[in-house]
Structure 1
Amino acid sequence: MKINIIYIFATILLAITLKAQTEKLTSHVNPFIGTGAIVGSPLSGNNYPGATVPFGMVQLSPDTRNIPDWGVASGYNYNDTTIAGFSHTHLSGTGVAEFFDVLVMPFTGDIIKEDAGTNPYQSAFLHKDEIAKPGYYKVDLKDYDVTAELTATTHAGFHKYNFPKNKSAHIIIDLDHSMKKSDWNTRIIASQLSFPNNHTVEGYRIITGWAPMRKVFFHAEFSQPIIKNQVTDNGNLYQNVTIINGTALKAILDFDTANADVLVKVGISATSVENARFNVQAEIPAWDFNATVNAADTAWEKELSKIKIEGTPDQKTIFYTALYHTFIQPNQISDVNGDYPSADFTTKNSAKPYYSTFSLWDTYRAAHPLYTLLQPERSADFINSMLLHYKAFGYLPIWQLWGQENYCMIGNHSISVITDAVLKGLPGIDAHAAYEAVKNSSLLEHPGSPFGIWEQYGYIPENLKSQSVSLTLEMAYDDWCVAQMAKKLDKAEDYNRFLKRSQFYKNLYDKQIGFFRAKDDKKQWIDPFDPLKYGANGGYPFTEGNGWQYFWYVPQDVKGLIGLVGGNKAFTQKLDTFFTLEDKPQEVNDNASGFIGQYAHGNEPSHHIAYLYNYAGQPWKTQQYVSEILNKMYNTTSSGYAGNDDCGELSSWYIFSAMGFYPVNPASSIYVIGTPALKKATIQISELKSFTVIAKNASAKNVYIQSAKLNGKAYTKTYITQQDIVKGGVLEFTMGGAPNKKWGTGADDRPENIIYN
């Protein structure tokens, strides 16, 4: 009997071990997380479920609206019931709709004469008939009894359509599909379709909108011959054309359904039709759809394996979906041969991949520090892409999309991203060239940062430039970054100049009321002031937030901020009020969501604030609030995020925070400790080195750190350094259900005592 019990136990243990060894990390990713808000939730993530590979140019995904708009910026909303088609480019989690290039849609039945600007061929679908996983998407189109499967490579999309036999089979290629034409003055400037043979369609469109003057070229190959084509352009109909130009082109292609499957390989390019053709031929040479699916899965498994975790099933789903979302962008927009669209509207060539989609106001905070940790080689390519943009454009990107600047948001936070990479010693970056770009971008006048009046006043006057308080605080941080690079390169004069500028934030602090507030160019406070009132993106001193949320934005000098308030006690009392003050005005900015008091996790200005208790000697409150955010603001449903994911920024917050630390100052190489939610997390630094965080007794209730060890030695500091992580080791926490108010409270334990400058 004993032998049988031992045998059974050993068998179970072996099965568990084998499962752990063979368990694919891609199986934990749920691309439907963040795709649609549930009732009572204003925002969900604005993610899409379609097929893409890590950092790829192509995002082949269903669009559930004929005309995507601000509310469905990714093109897909989980609450919608129809699909308009499958387009090849999408943005992940942004607050503005854009892309949706080269829409493809299969259908059966009669061809309907359509009015200009309409799409009568959308189809109903049900979520039970959808499958989404990294690199693959499948759905049944109910109106046509067509099953659509999608996969992707870096530069190409691969479609598989199963048509019912003995029915007329059609596929639309729509070059007019875009965001709402009235938004950002979006319009098609020119487009072309050509039919070089009966298996191929090629073309391009030049479209302007949020990203100016985008050129999108494509080459589509079909597994079956095209029997005939008809093209419409603004309501005009053309039969069996070989080439046509217009501004609203849609082609309907007819196929024989004796063989039920029609496969389509679509290569895209930002430079030429020839490169689009070469991209698809290089990446999908055969008609093996399943092989492409497997290759995409393998690519994702490799990237997700950079962190291995132990936790609950929900934690694994949220964590690996967050890591998946973080690795969707920035997007490579150079072709297989290295050609890329330069910011000066010419085509240039680079031996290294050229990247775009830099949502920098969002991603500099956590996503880019995560890239420097997990993707050092790609991070160097990101920085070098920014430097190439600088050479062509004159200053570093603010919000770069498809190779072009759209001037969205404030500051110039590529400065932070580049500083972080250079200070951490990422190989492949010319530090002196990087410093030239960083310094000059901090001196030249441009829409993101009005440097012409910065040194003149020592702040931004609201009557000269709106969003003045947010601008002052964010520009001061960027100047601190320039100062650190100047110090590293022994440029003492520059160091002193920019360090002085980094203190300009103090010039807008009103000690009488205890808030940062706007002044005019006569140094007079602008009344009235209400710290609860929200601003959007102009016409008010605060950007997508209020005075309460922006009060804490001094990541480069938290110790100085504590001094302004009056010391640690006053500082923590103000934090207590911030997290408990429920009062809200009647109107808040659309991006304000995920509230805990005045804390709004749905938008980036709040993201570091819970960690600030550590600076003033009350780390247990950081642990309390970080745990509350982790548990309340993320879930496994379609409404899985508390706001727009913003190209992986909300996802990156979760990844860092679930492991137990966060980069409050993104360019400081310091990570402030919160509360580890996972039992174990291992970051693979290299083939031979890893850094592991262990949290004994961690649970939803045991959120308080009782003690810690770093590489076996007692550890009481409330931060760790980049060097601690990259040299490898083990950070071990013992967790409990009640605060240990002695751990991490010593004068030397606080991150405020780190001397950055």
Structure 2
Amino acid sequence: MKKVLSIGLVCFSSLVLAQTKPDGTFVQYVNPFIGTGAVDKNSLSGSNFPGSTVPFGFVQLSPDTRDAPDDPASGYDYNDKTIVGFSHNHLSGTGVADLFDVLMMPTTGDVKFNAGTPDKPHSGYSSAFSHKEETARPGYYQVMLKDYNINAELTSTSHVGLHRYTFPQNAQSHIIIDMDHSLDKKRGYWSCKIIGAEIRVVDDHTIEGYRILSGWAKLRKIYFHAEFSKPFISTVLASGGKTYPDLTIINGSNLKAALNFNTADKEQIMVKVGLSPVSTENARMNIKAELPGWDFNATSSQSSAQWEKELSKIKIDGTLEQKQIFYTGLYHAFTQPNNMADVNGDYQATDLSIANAPDKTHYSTFSLWDTYRAAHPLYTLIQPEKTTAFINSMMRQYDSYGYLPIWQLWGDENYCMIGNHAIPVIVDAALKGIPGFNVEKAYAAIKGSSLTDHPGSPFTAWAKYQYIPEDVESQSVSITLEVAYDDWCVAQLAKKLGKDEDYDLFIKRSEFYKNLYNTKTGFFQAKLKDGSWQEPFNPQSYGGNGGSPYTEANAWQYFWYVPQNVSGLIGLVGGNTAFNQKLDTFFTLRDKPGEVNGNASGFIGQYAHGNEPSHHITYLYDFSGQPWKTQFYVAKVLNELYNNSSSGYSGNEDCGQMSSWYTFSSMGFYPVNPANGVYAIGSPILKHAEISLGGGKTFTMDAKNVGKNNCYIQSVKLNGKAYGKTYITQNDIADGGKLEFVMGSKPNKNWGTKPTDVPLAWGY
């Protein structure tokens, strides 16, 4: 990361924040531009979008800077100079693009649907813009479209996007609707195709339509209903290269429309667009329920107020930059999962049928390979009601599809990534006693999902070989390690429910990771069906998402993935001394040229904070008697791999996981095993944090002498008593209490190092 560029962007983002400071104690610190653009070609940005959304809402109304979004997956790159329009839903921080439905763009002059080159088919109505004339805050986005001298403002409710366009005087003013805009149809990971679409002119101030398409989600249906505050004079509908003036309905696979106006100077036209995955009638109903009027400022204020309420669940004190990173992180963590249900509870189920949720909520956008690690444990602390709704939504997939979500988008299972990580999410909630879901039914779902073969989960081979052979399933080492962890989770819930035979089965399977440990190389290494080691072997060789035993990582990064039995991993290596020496090498061994691919960034030696397999590793010295090294590396990541600029994350933000790591770690603790209710102690960088737990209970953290040079713990108190353990438990937090740190510039090697204090067997 280039310091000069980074500093410049920090200053600019802070300036924007100061100029547009909204009312409210917490929303004032959210800067939606964090994570929207890398500073150089060798770094990642976060892949976030700056537009308007409400907490866990269906609509994310935001600008797209690319004609065919692909990378970044959010559709917006801070480094771009052109906006092609404003579409109504976006993914936050993912590595793969999708959505971008119902793009709108205000223009003046001649209508040019198909101007430009084949590589830029929409350039006829795109516009240059400048960050000096762009603003973003929770519930509001604004930009001046320089080519047309049009000021565009956006806000939203859960299911409705509201646009306000301020036009110049012009007899040829237009609002373009593009139903062909999508992720890259030629170069994307998943084949994208518009299967069918429709635009219908209802009257001179109403447009409806839909499109059906494939993409990362294998089949999506999106319906819209749009109302305009001013009647349009005429329309031009287009299908491919043909245009049809004043046609009232058009069907096809490449549809656009131009709605024509005669505008006075500084005349404002508003558009409210309701979305539904079910029908245009439901889209119309969503508008009627959520946005019957035309008060843009009130709508924006209401959205901001929703964010203020959610962000207030953790109150912190720290530097301005820390507050901006922290509250923007909470903002990103609460951007998804998204409520797919219309206001009447209708939603598209995983089997593509239309179902109804009695509680009017059905959540999707489950990036579980990422979020089970820290985002979902964070939700259990400060969003327990949402956790219940998430689990009930996951259970509906099990009912209609046969197994729990792996990576669910738009109610559709896309099979991205590995493992079955709805399991730790459900088990964690059940063990923490979160109410509102049927635990016995949930157990049946996690057991069934752990015994039934499905894509990426060959459980027949798992039972036969007691590891995943690479010649049966690619990414075999990563799958073996992650399924072993999932099995440990199943065992814990079986134990709680008194299902002893199941406990014995799954706790035995949770130890299968040992079968891929090669004592000669000192790594978990791929085996074939015949039991032989796959050769050649290079522990620094990276894998992507297939064709390698490792998933978006290498053997160094996956060596540490035994969160269910860290003491057992220490035993494999030969004890604490050997374990610490290996950790030391891990954090200092540099990559050789050409051995790092695009899935990894944010390096400290082999540690890659930009991707999830590394996220727990800084905390492992807590298990092996050298907690001061955990403190050093956690502080290093917090202070060097996060910032408040457009390049604020060291990798894709991944639907709240990157932010949740910061949220926990900045307060001084982190869930190494995200389903056992224990948090390893790291190095707090905030002066104060207060977590609202509901029922009048709070958990408070205070840190004395915090600072970039004071990363080492000198002493700890828990509820006023001296505390020497390197972890706290869920009960310590849930009961309410106070955790106090005294920090210093040199390690206190007497704290947390006694054998009786080392957490060899964490759990309930």
TM-score of the two chains, using structure 2 as the length reference: 0.95
2:668 aligns to what? 660
Query: Deviation string for 1:15-66 (max 9, x for gaps)?
Result: xxxxxxx852101000001000002642010001000000000000000011
The equivalent of 1:269 in structure 2 is: 276
Q: How does 1:253-292 map to 2 (within 5 A)?
A: 253-258=259-264, 260-292=267-299
- For 2:742, give the aligned amino acid: T
1:664 and 1:102 map into 2 onto residues whose CA distance is 41
Percent identity between the aligned chains? 63
The 1-side partners of 2:592 and 2:639 are apart by: 23
CA offset digits 1:405-461 (Å, max 9, x no partner)? 000001110011111111111110100010010000001111131112001000000
8 Å CA contact 1:398, 1:448 repeated in 2: no
1:625 aligns to 2:638 (yes or no): no
- The answer on whether the counterparts of 1:412 and 1:448 sit within 8 Å (CA) in structure 2 is no
Equivalents in 2 of 1:755, 1:114: separation in Å? 61
The 5 A counterparts of 1:601-750 are: 601-750=609-758
Cα 1:113–1:482 change in 2 (3 A) is closer
- Tell me which amino acid in the other structure corresponds to 1:198: D
- Corresponding residue for 1:16? none
Map 1:381-420 → 2, pairs under 5 A = 381-420=389-428
Give the alignment of 1:289-688 within 5 angstroms.
Answer: 289-352=296-359, 353-688=361-696
Alpha-carbon distance in 2 for matches of 1:365, 1:676? 19
Partner of residue 72, structure 1: 72
Which of the numbers 201, 207, 210 marks the counterpart of 1:204? 210
Structure 2 matches for 1:228-243, cutoff 5 A? Answer: 228-243=234-249
Q: Residue 254 of structure 2: which of 245, 248, 267 is its match? A: 248
Distance 1:751 1:194 in 2: 64
Contact 2:677 2:729 in 1 (8 A): yes
Deviation at 1:351, TM superposition (A): 1.7
RMSD (Å) for aligned C-alpha atoms? 1.3
Distance (Å, rounded) in 2 between the aligned partners of 1:106 and 1:157 = 15
Match of 2:83 in 1: 83
Equivalent residues in 2 for 1:132-281, closer than 5 Å: 132-182=136-186, 183=188, 184-258=190-264, 260-281=267-288
SS at match of 1:453: helix
Amino acid at match of 1:206: I
Q: Which amino acid aligns with 1:32?
A: F
Q: Could you list the per-position Cα deviations for residues 587-611 of structure 1 after superposition, in whole angstroms to 9, with x for gaps in the alignment?
A: 3221110000000000000000000
Matches of 1:535 and 1:377, distance apart in 2: 38
2:121 equivalent among 118, 125, 130: 118
Deviations 1:375-416 (A, max 9, x none): 000010000000011101110010000000000001110011
SS of equivalent residue, structure 2 residue 170: coil
Pick which of 524-533 and 443-452 moved more.
443-452
Q: 1:748 aligns to what SS in structure 2?
A: helix
User: What CA deviation, in whole Å up to 9, does each residue of 1:478-537 have, x standing for no partner?
Assistant: 000100110111000000000000000000001112110011001111111100000001
- Residues 54 and 335 of structure 2 are in contact (CA less than 8 Å); yes or no, is this contact kept in structure 1? yes
Residues in 2 aligned to 1:450 and 1:671: alpha-carbon distance in whole angstroms? 32
Unaligned runs of 5+ in 2: 1-22
Alpha-carbon distance in structure 2 between the residues aligned to 1:459 and 1:445: 14
Match of 2:755, SS state, is coil
AA in 2 matched with 1:638? S
Deviation for aligned residue 1:256: 2.5
Is contact 2:24-2:308 (8 Å) kept?
no
One-letter amino acid of the structure 2 residue matched with residue 524 of structure 1:
S
* 2:531 aligned counterpart, secondary structure: coil
Matching residue within 754, 759, 762 for 1:754: 762
Equivalent residues, number: 736
Aligned to 2:10: none
Secondary structure, aligned partner of 1:196? strand
CA contact (8 A) 2:239 2:250 kept: no
SS at match of 1:753: coil
Q: Which residue of 1 aligns with 2:17?
A: none
Alpha-carbon distance between aligned partners in 2 of 1:410 and 1:743, rounded to the nearest angstrom:
38
| Code of the aligned partner of 1:178 | S
**1:344 counterpart letter in structure 2:** D
* Alpha-carbon distance between aligned partners in 2 of 1:732 and 1:113, rounded to the nearest angstrom: 62
Give the letter aligned to residue 517 of structure 1: Q
Q: Distance in 2 between matches of 1:166 and 1:191?
A: 31
Post-superposition Cα deviations, 1:284-334, rounded to whole Å, max 9, x if no partner, equal: 111100000000000000000000000001000110011110000000010
State the Cα deviation string for residues 351-377 of structure 1 (Å, max 9, x = none): 221000000000000000001111000
Counterpart AA for 2:56: F
Task: Give 3-state SS (helix, strand or coil) of 1:314's partner.
Answer: helix
**Letter of the 2:192 counterpart:** T
**Equivalent AA in structure 2 for residue 125 of structure 1:** F
Asked whether the equivalents of residues 456 and 473 of structure 2 are also in contact (C-alpha less than 8 Å), the reply is no
CA contact under 8 A between 2:325 and 2:642: conserved in structure 1?
yes
Amino acid at match of 2:583: L
3-state SS of 2:756 partner: coil
- Following TM superposition, by how much is the alpha carbon of 1:243 offset from its aligned partner in structure 2, in angstroms? 1.5
1:634 to 1:695, Cα distance in 2 relative to 1, 3 A: same
Shift of 1:113: 5.4
Write the distance in 1 (CA, Å) between the matches of 2:402 and 2:34: 39
**Is residue 219–residue 268 contact of structure 1 (8 Å, CA) maintained in 2?**
yes
- Check the 8 A contact 1:408/1:448 in 2, yes or no: no
Per-residue deviation, residues 706-741 of structure 1 (Å, max 9, x unmatched)? 111111111111111111111101000111110000
Q: Quick check: 1:591–1:644 contact (8 Å CA) kept in 2?
A: no
Q: Select between 442-451 and 327-336 the one with higher mean Cα deviation.
A: 442-451
Would the aligned equivalents of 1:660 and 1:676 in 2 still touch at CA under 8 Å? yes
Report the counterpart of residue 37 of structure 1 in structure 2. 38
SS of alignment partner, residue 381 of structure 1 = helix
- 1:751 is displaced (CA, Å) by 2.3
Question: What is the alpha-carbon distance in structure 2 between the residues aligned to residue 277 and residue 746 of structure 1?
Answer: 64
Q: Distance in 2 between matches of 1:113 and 1:159?
A: 21
Structure 1 runs, 4 residues or longer, greater than 4 Å off: none
Measured after TM superposition, the shift of residue 167 of structure 1 is 4.1
Q: Does the 8 Å contact 1:678/1:698 carry over to 2?
A: yes
Tell me the TM-score normalized by structure 1: 0.96
**Alignment partners' CA distance in 2, 1:403 and 1:526:** 38
- Cα distance, 1:112 vs structure 2: 2.2
Match of 1:18 in 2: none
Report the more deviating stretch, 743-752 or 639-648. 743-752
- For residues 652 and 290 of structure 1, the distance between their equivalents in structure 2, rounded to whole angstroms, comes to 31
Q: Which amino acid aligns with 2:25?
A: K
The residue type paired with residue 433 of structure 1 is K
Residues 341, 347 of structure 2: 8 Å contact kept: yes
Counterpart secondary structure, 2:196: strand
